[in-house]
Structure 1
Amino acid sequence: MDDIQESTQAGTIAALKAERDQLLTLLKALPDISFVLDAEGRYVKVIGGANEAMYASGKSLEGYTLADALPPAVAEACLTHVQQALRTGEMQTLEYQLCVADVTLLPPSVRDNDHHQAEQWFEGRALPLPSYDHSKPVVLWVAVNITPRKQVEQYWREAAYTDPLTGIANRRALFEQAEHEIERAHRHHRPLSLLVLDIDHFKTINTQYGHAQGDEALRQFTQCCARLLRDTDFMGRIGGEEFVMLLPETDQLGAEQLGARIVEAIPTLDVPGMNNEHRMTVSIGAATRLEGEGFEDLLVRADDALSTAKRSGRNRLRVDQAATR
């Protein structure tokens, strides 16, 4: 009877080892790199990563811990997910950014490779391996390089908030940023001003020179305005030839000074294909936020000031005077 039990146990062990070897062979052939990590975050085995364009060889990590190899924040997050997978018995996933050049235990020949200097995105999938032959509980950590996916997501995210012609914020982005700036100004009792800009007689430019030249005029207008803004200012296109500037930490005088500089600068632009006699000009309305005022009301006051500028002959700035009343 003992011989039969020993034979059965031996057969079971052999079957488990064969299964493990098959799994390891399969993992080696996969494009994604995998790690066997124990409960302390130690690299027990590094497997796979056949896609050399996406992964660096991690063999030199074996025997070391996550804390030895990775930047502290990444190592801590990975270890937390390893231990959570072991505690729950369920797969855990984690998205993290990592520059291969920052993995200090990799050979210099790997870290100095130009391809590995850029930060990349990975999705780590930690799954317990209860039958793995090791002194401590382990997980299989599959690191999937998701950088291409993240780049596509970033492209569409930017497309959703960017005006495709001028490259600045679109109406949606402008309004979201405005709500943020309104809330910040309210919370800290800081000034916030707004400029609404409208290119004068823009339809005439399109009619006389064509839409291609009109598009170029819009781009040059945007670039000229952007050169006059601070890093903290925010400009968006909210309509065909209508733009809005958010000016944090700017009182009425500051808004008036910036608006005057823009009115002065726009006619100096040389748009290719347009006659020198035809110079772009801009009308601007300015308003400074009143205590407790929301973005919609502030925008209405700046727009009213813009209408006054147009009625007064265009190519000028008009400031809403509510803040001084």
Structure 2
Amino acid sequence: MFLSQLPPDVIQPVLEALPMPVFFKDRAGIYRGCNLAFTTLLGLCPADVVGKSVFDLSPPDLAQVYFEADEALMSAGQDQRYESQVQTPSGQRLDVIFYKSVLRDTEGQVSGLVGTILDITERKRMEQQLAEMATRDPLTGLMNRRAILSHLERLHADRRSQRQPLCLLMCDVDHFKSINDRHGHAVGDEVLTQVAQVLRQHLRDGDQVGRIGGEEFLVVLQSTEPEQLAQVGERLRQVVASHPLMSLDTTFSVTLSIGAARSLRADEDWASVVSRADQALYVAKRTGRDRVVMADSEPPRQLLHKDWHKQL
């Protein structure tokens, strides 16, 4: 027997006792009943719901999702669970899970469906925050080491398939230890945060930057032209050098040493490119700092002092 055929004084008190939204529809997808939690969610009254379809009550894009899910459920004659959204009277869209089951008449034929809605908006928000925490450096908000190296690995696979080079910059804040020693780690942290902001604000579309650790940043370039690699490195160096950093009423002017490298062969491993950029950075630090040094050739194997693969 279909729920709408039951006496209201039997079914409605049961529905109203449930805290989650509940609704039921006939085989044509027309609402035949619901509880207060459902009408409150949609900002409607029962008279606005009964006798209407999803296309009468919901935005077209969501209504189409509901309609197709209902048809698939009633055709299969089973249960259904899926994630979607509902729109509140204010226009806000909530993330929800629909649980639906078919209803059958006395002859066993599908005569409609009954469904409930679980609001998972807060859970989704927390999941997103956790995902951000897993990929973001907590101090600077940039990609953390694992995230930027994972991005680099994916981009390298794409570049290799297109037989295009990989371009990147290793950047290090000059004399950072002396800032910490003289002004304290709180000031040093603020300097790193502001340098990170400057780098992020002056990257081109598609370029990515992450904090590798300490005062070291890795910039992965979307473009692949060698002359652009040097130009981007020099532009970032100049921007940081000319940007005053403020912390605890103290103004700083810091500089960057930058090592730039691009893959030399289509089959060159991305970790080798990072290592050559790291070596070019070492040369920049050793020869006076505040400069960009290009890595023009592959260094001897004994100079590859970091196993970048193990950083993932």
- Is the TM value for this pair above 0.5? yes
Counterpart of 2:22 (choices 34, 46, 52) is: 34
Q: Which residue of 2 aligns with 1:187?
A: 161
After superposition, the CA RMSD in angstroms is 2.9
Q: Is the 8 A contact 1:33 1:55 kept in 2?
A: no
How many residues align? The count is 292
2:202 corresponds to 1:202: no
Q: Which residue of 1 aligns with 2:200?
A: 226
Structure 2 length-normalised TM? 0.82
2:292 corresponds to 1:317: yes
Q: Is the 8 A contact 1:31 1:51 kept in 2?
A: no
Distance change (3 Å), C-alpha of 1:190 and 1:57:
farther
Question: Which sections of structure 2, spanning at least 5 residues, go unmatched?
Answer: 299-312
Q: Which residue of 1 aligns with 2:220?
A: 246
Deviation at 1:251, TM superposition (A): 1.7
2:115 corresponds to 1:141: yes
Identity %: 32
2:270 corresponds to 1:295: yes
Counterpart of 2:44 (choices 38, 52, 57) is: 57
Q: Is the 8 A contact 1:84 1:92 kept in 2?
A: no
Deviation at 1:252, TM superposition (A): 1.7
Deviation at 1:217, TM superposition (A): 0.2
Structure 1 length-normalised TM? 0.79
Q: Which residue of 2 aligns with 1:17?
A: 6
Distance change (3 Å), C-alpha of 1:274 and 1:217:
farther
Distance change (3 Å), C-alpha of 1:255 and 1:99:
farther
Distance change (3 Å), C-alpha of 1:83 and 1:21:
farther
Instruction: Please give the alpha-carbon distance, in whole angstroms, between the structure 1 residues aligned to 2:84 and 2:256.
Output: 47
Distance change (3 Å), C-alpha of 1:81 and 1:307:
same
Q: Which residue of 1 aligns with 2:307?
A: none
Q: Which residue of 1 aligns with 2:103?
A: 129
Deviation at 1:275, TM superposition (A): 5.5
Decide which moves more: 146-155 or 295-304: 295-304
Q: Which residue of 2 aligns with 1:7?
A: none
Q: Which residue of 2 aligns with 1:166?
A: 140
Instruction: Please give the alpha-carbon distance, in whole angstroms, between the structure 1 residues aligned to 2:153 and 2:21.
Output: 44
Decide which moves more: 27-36 or 207-216: 27-36
Q: Is the 8 A contact 2:104 2:110 kept in 1?
A: no
Question: Which sections of structure 1, spanning at least 5 residues, go unmatched?
Answer: 1-11, 101-109, 111-115
Letter in 2 for 1:25: P
